[in-house]
Amino acid sequence: MTRKTLTLALACTLYAAAETPVYLNPDAPIEQRIEDALSRMTLEEKVAMCHAQSKFSSPGVPRLGIPEVRMSDGPHGVRAEINWDNWGYAGWTNDSVTAFPALTALAATWNPALSAIYGKNVGEEARYREKDVLLGPGVNIYRTPLNGRNFEYMGEDPYLASVMVVPYIQELQKNGVAACVKHFAANNQEQWRGNVNPTMSDRALYEIYLPAFKAAVEQGGAWSIMGAYNKLWNQHCCHNKRLLEDILRGEWGFDGAVITDWGGAHDTREAALNGLDIEMGSFTNGLTTESEFTYDDYYLGKGFRELIQSGEVPESVADDKVRRILRLIFRTAMNTGKPFGSLCSPEHYAAAKAIGDESIVLLKNSGILPLDPAKTGRVLVVGDNAVRRLTDGGGSSELKVKDYISPLQAIRSVFGADNVDFAEGYRAGRPMYGRVDEIPAAIQDSLRAEAVAKAAQADVVIFIGGLNKNAGQDCEGTDRESYDLPFGQDVLIEELINANPNIVIANISGNAYAMPWADKVPAILHTSYLGTMGGASMADVLTGAVNPSGKLPYSIPVRLADCGAHSFGVESYPGVESETGDVLFGVCAPQQTYAEDILVGYRWHDTKKIPARYPFGHGLSYTTFAYGKPELSAKTISPDGSITLTVPVTNTGSREGAEVVQLYIGDDKASVLRPLKELKAFDKITLAPGETREVKFTISPDMLAFFDADAHAWRSEPGTFTAYVGGSSTATPAKAKFRLTE
């Protein structure tokens, strides 16, 4: 019998007693249950609920039959079981899961319906594993392509991230599993993540870095939020008064629990008074016989209790925290209406495949794709990622998968094993966390020579390289070391091109990277980490069984210097170490300025006229689409009105395909700096050959507003605006002007 089962058994005993506690009645109003439970608790029990009791759980109140809160890393799947008192894997045989595509892949689908499917299915697996809180999804903004954790987020645009995160949360929580949206806020790099202290304007904060969190709370109804490691305004985010009290609870009305990132608390008084509810961490095994530091020594442990007992902090502060924790427990662990869940079901695999299919972005195609297996001839697959299990490594998102279809396995299945040869080409080493696994140059030279020799004998070469989950690449705890591909891949690609020009680049990466060879290859696929069914999705796109419809959720700059965050020196990224500040992870608090301000991603490229190699929203199809003339329902819009924009879109190709119709709006003349245009709406439509559909967008005044920091309010200025409609941030052939009146 599990610990939670024992607790619930006690609850049933209490419920059957003569005096039925209100808090145990699932039919009673939840706020009444909270107050009843709170009234029965001692101060020691209240404080105990505010900090961890193991690596992935916080206590309930066993005396009252209130169960603990069990958490698990996510959001791409439920992490393998971790030991109760150390970071080793427990070695269970029943904790293998479905690996769903990374969130950057989900964002690349531009399909909110798939986001709902994603949340539903990953929630079923979390419920089956008896988890109460899934630590995700992540919605930090893609500010720099060097951020090692970008693959866990939803791209560079706050509107896209906002639209995509809401269905995920809603469907996840229908399983009685809380979303823990992370990392609040401005956790936009891994280097010095524990205490980097960024400075940004309120406009950048409210226009770029907060909207997805706001949508997660106000529209998604998230039950918990995870604080970020970094500082903001010289105060750590996990107990940052302005973030947690003023904005999250004050402005957005958040009623859920705030949970630290592991080890993200730094001060007892701030943690007590500034809105933190549950402190999690990594510092102890919790056994007093083996460690002088126990869970009661956490900032929200005995130090918090002593502040209350001395009268320095009123007990009502603890009461407020416990109310929010109880609300979380009643929504999850004590939710008698939650389903049972399921694990690794055919439906989950189908969901992972569908998301992967729509996430793959066709960046370039001169006609070589799709490949016909009956006519292609001899295929050579080159690259470590063709065979590497990319669910390993990466930090907290690492998954123990039951099944994994690699690209090489899927390609051999489609083209025939006898027709497909393989060469490593380069070797990336083992999945590593915290350090780089170096491969001797002589080995890399030998692997490259072998691949080039085989390429000369092949009819088609499919190169499947990119990044992986090793330290210094797409990995928690480290940022990337370079914008270039690692392990000499650029040299290898150039030599493969010289040996055989019939080459398809099908790299896997959760980030943008330099492509100095882009003009020399006939086709490029951009694929994120697609999990269990990833190889099957890639093979189906390569052969045309699936018509690609993914669109980039971030820009791919030509050079790193073309990115706004890297245009102002080290003060902007990664920051400059200071001589003051607390020490965490061995460094003092670096100071950093977000000098690009609101001009993040395509906003920077468009406004500064610095073209990206491949722009935000870009993605090709095996068919083609044409945009007709847009029509407005009116040429003016009043401050309390709206207008409708209608644009016809036609499939001008020979096969069915899906197009993401994107609406951007630009303020032609403003009193403040504004981007050339900003994404305000999109609609993914599927059209048969020759079919035309009218796509309608409603334009309202709030879509025209900017954040006025002086007034601390959103404001729209009367004047002329331009609506841009098309298939990417730069391909917007349909344009229409309108005016906002006084």
Are the CB atoms for 631 and 685 separated by under 8 Å?
no
Reported CATH class of domain 3-331: alpha beta
pLDDT at position 579: 61
Is the CA virtual torsion 414, 417, 420, 426 positive or negative? Answer: positive
The CA distance from 34 to 60, in Å, is: 13
Specify the DSSP class assigned to residue 36: H
Element (H, E) at 13: helix 3-16
Alpha helices in 514-608 (DSSP H): 534-543, 602-607
Q: Are strands 631-632 and 643-651 parallel, antiparallel or unpaired?
A: antiparallel
pLDDT at position 5: 57
Residue among 85, 242, 214 nearest 158 (CA)? 214
Going from the first residue of the chain to its last (742 residues), give the mean pLDDT of each consecutive group of 10, the final group possibly shorter: 58 57 95 98 98 96 97 95 92 96 98 98 98 98 98 98 98 98 97 95 98 98 98 97 98 98 96 98 69 88 97 98 98 96 98 98 97 97 97 94 98 97 93 69 96 98 97 94 96 98 98 98 98 98 98 98 97 85 56 97 98 98 98 96 98 98 98 97 98 98 97 97 98 97 91
Is the CA virtual torsion 368, 373, 375, 381 positive or negative? Answer: positive
Angle at CA 221, nearest 5°, toward 215 and 223?
120
Q: Which fold has domain 623-742?
A: Immunoglobulin-like (2.60.40)
Distances (CA, A) of 151 to 106, 138, 558: 10, 9, 20
Reported CATH class of domain 360-543: alpha beta
Q: Are strands 57-58 and 69-73 parallel, antiparallel or unpaired?
A: antiparallel
Q: Which tokens belong to 462?
A: 């499919």
Q: Tell me the whole-structure pTM to 2 decimals.
A: 0.95
Q: Which tokens belong to 376?
A: 């292609």
Q: Where are the domains of the chain?
A: 3-331, 360-543, 623-742
Unique residue bearing structure tokens 């965050």:
565
Q: Provide the Cα torsion 440, 445, 451, 455; round to 10°.
A: 160
Are the CB atoms for 471 and 436 separated by under 8 Å?
yes
pLDDT at position 589: 80
Residue count of the chain: 742
The CA distance from 306 to 173, in Å, is: 36
Unique residue bearing structure tokens 């619930």:
8
HSE on the CB side for 236, CA within 13 Å?
Answer: 27
Residue among 114, 202, 110, 199 nearest 159 (CA)? 110
Positions annotated as catalytic residues are 261
The CA distance from 157 to 173, in Å, is: 25
